[in-house]
Amino acid sequence: MSLLSRAHWIFDMDGTLTVAIHDFDAIRSELGLPAGRLILEELAVRPERERARLLDQLDAIELRLARASQPQPGAHALLDALAGRGASLGILTRNSHENALETLHAAGLERFFSSECVIGRDEAPPKPSPVGLLHLLERWGAAPASAVMVGDYRFDLECGRAAGATTVYLDPDGRFDFGELADHRIRRLDELLLAPPPHGG
């Protein structure tokens, strides 16, 4: 089965469908979190009242970034082609659902995704957990073998692998630091519209 013939596509959002603008070190600093710690995982172990306060603060930071979102080069072309083929399209993000929708609106991509197919951190455990991806496949009545997970970070690829989906690794810089987790490696989303990339990139 060629990649473009797959019927079900799940995308990471920030840095994948949109140009990466998140400075996670700066976000950690603004939240007063230790350097190098994963933000959501760090918040999960904080006392409930502190966690709620920090999550509100994180939501505000992410909303500010969402409103500045720009589409990744090739995003419109790829999504147009997939939608034209009747593919199911979903998003799995560590962002909140509301800020994910705001991001899509700012980037001009909202027409490709229904709200119920945008899974954020409040709808499922955050990636690398495959739960959100499997939730989308269940909604679509789809098997993992018919699905593609596209992302720019190891959590996206680990999630896809754990769910049994084909993984596509987007790295505009071409470094592919997590290439061993990817079935396909690309520097632009619209590369997927060309001849199917060979296994491994």
Q: Looking at the domain that runs over 3-20+72-193, which CATH code has it been given? A: 3.40.50.1000
Average pLDDT over residues 74-88: 97
CB 103 within 8 A of CB 115: no
Query: In this predicted structure, what is the pLDDT of residue 195?
Result: 52
Instruction: Specify the pTM.
Output: 0.88
Confidence of residue 177 (pLDDT cuts 50, 70, 90): very high
Average pLDDT over residues 152-156: 96
Dist CA 70 CA 198 (whole Å) = 29
Model confidence over 6-43: pLDDT tens digits?
A: 999 999 999 999 999 878 888 888 888 888 888 888 88
Locate 159 and state its tokens.
Answer: 């999630």
Q: What residues does 14 pair with on adjacent strands?
A: 18
Confidence of residue 197 (pLDDT cuts 50, 70, 90): very low
Domains of the chain, by residue range, sit at: 3-20+72-193, 24-66
